[in-house]
């Protein structure tokens, strides 16, 4: 955590590729090309990519595409996928209706 990350370091130019149209995040319909381009626009972390593009922010909350996204970003940054922090998992674990989530009877803490 809290690793020094210089956002101006040279990662080379964005080079369009034949499979850039491939949909990676199915919930939000984000393509491989959009993800690769965002990395070159400075989104060097999975967390920033999610906030910038919405990949992994849809109904499944990234449970389907997060590994794929990580692989694409790592390749673009020329680092190992293990070096990239995954995005924070957020409650609730499954999409939950307001009338149900709002009906808890515990102490509000």
Partner 1 sequence: MKHTAEAVIIGGGIIGCASAYYLAKKGCSVIVLEGSDYIGNGGSSRNGGGVRQSGRDPREIPMVMWGIQNVWPTLSEELGVDVEYTQKGNLRLGKTPAHLKILEGLTERAKACGLGVEMIDGDEVRKINPYLSEEVIGASFCPTDGHANPLTATLGYYKRARELGVRFITGEKVLKLLTVKGKIRKVVTENNTYEGEKVLVAAGYESRKITESVGIDIPMQKVKLTCLVTEAQPFMFEQMLGTAEADFYGHQSSHGSFVFGGSTGLEPCEKDNGHGISQSGSASCICRGIMKYFPALKDAKIVREWSGFIDECADKVPVISPVEEVPGLYLACGFTGHGFGIAPGAGVNIAEMMTEGNFTVDNMEDFRYDRFKAKI
Which residue lies nearer to partner 1 by CB, 3 or 78? 3
82 contributes a contact to partner 1 by CB under 8 A:
no
Where does this chain touch partner 1 (CB under 8 A) — which range of 13-21, 64-72, 75-83, 91-99? 91-99
Structure tokens at 27: 């919930």
The single residue listed with the structure tokens 């992994």 is: 56
Task: Rule CB under 8 A: say whether 58 interacts with partner 1.
Answer: yes
User: What number of other Cβ atoms are within 10 A of residue 104's Cβ?
Assistant: 8
If one asks whether residue 45 binds partner 1 (CB under 8 A), the answer comes out as yes
User: Binding partner 1 by CB under 8 A: which of 31, 54, 64, 74?
Assistant: 54
Select the residue interacting with partner 1 from 11, 52, 68, 81 (CB under 8 A). Answer: 52
Compute how many other C-beta atoms are within 10 angstroms of the C-beta atom of residue 31.
17
**Whole-angstrom Cα Rg for the chain:** 17
């Amino acid at each position: 955590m809290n690793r020094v990350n210089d956002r101006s370091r040279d990662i080379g130019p964005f080079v369009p590729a034949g499979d850039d149209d491939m949909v990676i995040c199915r919930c939000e319909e984000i393509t491989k090309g959009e993800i690769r381009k965002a990395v070159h626009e400075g989104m060097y972390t999975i967390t920033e990519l999610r906030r910038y593009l919405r990949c992994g922010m849809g109904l499944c909350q990234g449970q389907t595409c997060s590994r794929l996204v990580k692989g694409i970003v790592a390749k673009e940054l020329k680092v190992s996928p293990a070096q990239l922090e995954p995005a924070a998992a957020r409650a609730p674990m499954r999409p939950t209706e307001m009338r149900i989530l709002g009906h808890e009877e515990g102490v509000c803490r």
